[in-house]
Amino acid sequence: MMRTRPLKVALLGCGVVGSEVARIMTTHADDLTARIGAPVELAGVAVRRPDRVREGIAPELVTTDATALVKRGDIDVVVEVIGGIEPARTLITTAFEHGASVVSANKALLAQDGAALHAAAEEHGRDLYYEAAVAGAIPLIRPLRESLAGDKINRVMGIVNGTTNFILDKMDSTGAGYQEALDEATALGYAEADPTADVEGFDAAAKAAILAAIAFHTRVRLDDVHREGMTEVTAADFASAKEMGCTIKLLAICERAEDGGSVTARVHPAMIPLSHPLASVRGAYNAVFVESDAAGQLMFYGPGAGGSPTASAVLGDIVAVCRNRIGGATGPGESAYAALPVSPMGDVVTRYHISLDVADKPGVLAQVATVFAEHGVSIDTVRQSGKDGEASLVVVTHRASDAALTGTVEALRKLDTVRGVASIMRVEGE
C-alpha cells in the first residue's frame, strides 16, 4: 500500500552535485515514488549565496540557515554535499539529534570522523549512507557493506581519483610531461585551479581510509593512510615502465597482512602490469579491484566524479534510506568488530623498481648488489647502460619490506660510485 504523506528531504549545498540531485528528484519524482513506496519532497535547500538563480528550485525553498533547516523536526533525510569538516560535521550530528537520517558525499569528514558519525547515527536510531563519498556513480560501498558481508576481503586496490588518472594516462599515451598533462586536465575541467588535494594524494587517501574500514571491519582514519603524491612521476618513469610491460597509476591499496593479524592502507604511484585490469582504465575513469576468499577477484568500474554520476549515487542512498524510514528500520551501521591494528608503511611488502645514476666503471654492479644483499633485499633483474664515464642502473627487486628498501637506498646514497637515485617506484598487481 502506497504511503501518501511525503518523505521530506533537506539538501545542504546546491553546487554541481546538489543541483543535480534536486533536478533528478524533480524530473524522476514519479519513478522515485514508485520505488520507495511514498512520495519524496524537496523540503529545503541550504546555500551560501541565496541570490543565485537555481533552475527548477522554488525560491521559497532556499535558505542560508542550514542549522534551522536540519532542526525542523519534519525532515526525514538530510543530504549533505557541502564538503569539508565544519560546518558539515555539526550539521550532520544535529540532523541525527532532530530525527533525520543522513546521506553524505563527504569523504574528508568520513575519513576523519566516521566512527563518531556512525555512533551518533546509532544513538538516535538513524541511517548514515555515503555511497557517493568514494567513487562517484560506481556502486562500491554497498557491495562491500552488504553483498560481500559474508565473505573475507583480503585486498582492495583501485584508481579512485579521476584527475590523477587523466594526467597519468595522458603522460603514458602521448609522452607528455607532468606539467603539460596537468595543464590539459585543468583546461578540460578535470583538475581544480589548486589541484593539490588530487595530485598529492589527499583525496585518494580519504577514500582509502573509508574502504579499508569497511573491508576489514576495523576503524581506519585518514592519519593511518600512508600517502605519496604523483608530482614527481616523469616521462622517464613511463619509459621504464613500458620496458617492463607496465604502466603507472596512482593507486589506493588496502590489504590484510598474510597472517591476517593487521591491515595497511596506502596511496602512491606504482607500476602495474599491462595485463592487470586496472592498467586499462583510461582518462578520468575510476576502478576498484577487490580480492576476497569466496568471491575471488571483482572489479568495479565507471565514472568516479562529476555532477550526474555523483548525484546518481546520492539518489540511490536516498531511496534506500527512505525505504528504511517507511519500514521502521535502519541499514548497516559501522562494523568495527575486528579492531585490527593498522601497520606502518615500513611493514608493507612489495616489489620495487629503482633507477640509479652510477659511475661507468668495473665493480659498480657488484657494490650495488652487495648493498642490496646486506639489507636482505633480493634482486630480480638488473639493466645497465652508459657511456663517457656515466651510467644508468635499473634494479627490480623481488618482494621486500618498505623498511628494508629504505635502508638499502640510504646505504646506496653513501657509495662513491652512486651519483644519485633517479627514481624509486613500487611494482603492484603481480
**Which sequence positions are flagged as catalytic?**
207
Question: H/E element holding 392?
Answer: strand 390-397
- Number of Cα atoms under 13 Å in the Cβ half of residue 288: 28
- Asked whether the beta carbons of 286 and 135 are under 8 A apart, the reply is yes
DSSP 220: -
Main-chain phi, psi angles of 125, to 5 degrees: 65, 40
The cell numbers describing 389, all together, are 664515464
Peptide bond preceding 87 in cis form (omega within 30 of 0):
yes
Query: Within 13 A of 222's CA, how many CA atoms are on the CB side?
Result: 16
Whole-angstrom distance, CA of residue 9 vs CA of residue 46 = 11
Query: Is 201 in contact with 228 (CB distance < 8 Å)?
Result: yes
d(CA 164, CA 190): 9
Length of the chain: 430
Nearest of 297, 245, 252, 251 to residue 273 by alpha carbon: 245
Q: Are strands 246-256 and 285-292 parallel, antiparallel or unpaired?
A: unpaired
Measured CA to CA, the distance from residue 363 to residue 382 in angstroms comes to 14
Rounded CA-CA distance 390/418 in Å is 10
Q: At what angle do helices 16-27 and 29-36 cross, to 10 degrees?
A: 80
DSSP annotation of 99 reads T
